Structures are given as C-alpha cells and as structure tokens.
C-alpha cells in the first residue's frame, strides 16, 4: 500500500467518524474508528511482509 492510498483511506475513516459524531449517531462514528484501525493494521502487516521482521531466521 503506497502512502497516498494509506492517507486517503485514513482521511475517509476520519471523515466518516466526524460525520457520525456530527449527526449524533454513535454507530457510524464507531464504524469510522474501527475502519481506521483496520487500515492502520493492514498497512503495518503489508509493510512487515515487504520488509521482513528483524527476528527472522534464514
């Protein structure tokens, strides 16, 4: 995942969360938070898969 995709997806999640807060719907805000955490987790997993972990044995 490149940086542009990562930041656009996070911005979308933040926008969904803010929209949920603005209209007073906690479920929508929670979806935004969970999606944001998911984007960060997937980006981290992809980074680790591309660069390998430091503790791997050859």
Rounded to an integer, what distance in angstroms lies between the CA atom of residue 45 and that of residue 40?
Answer: 9
Model confidence, pTM: 0.77
Is 55's pLDDT higher than 80? no
Comparison of pLDDT for 48 and 51, the residue scoring more: 48
Tell me the pLDDT tens digit for each residue of 7-24.
999 999 999 999 999 999
Rounded to an integer, what distance in angstroms lies between the CA atom of residue 31 and that of residue 45?
Answer: 21
Classify residue 48 by burial, with Cβ atoms within 10 Å: 0-12, 13-18, 19+. exposed
CA angle 29-33-53, nearest 5°?
175
């Amino acid at each position: 995942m490149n940086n542009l995709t990562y930041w656009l997806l996070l911005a979308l999640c933040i926008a969904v969360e803010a929209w949920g807060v603005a209209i007073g719907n906690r479920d929508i805000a929670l979806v935004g938070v969970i999606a944001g955490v998911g984007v960060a987790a997937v980006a981290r997993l992809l980074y680790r898969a591309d660069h390998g972990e430091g503790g791997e044995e050859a």
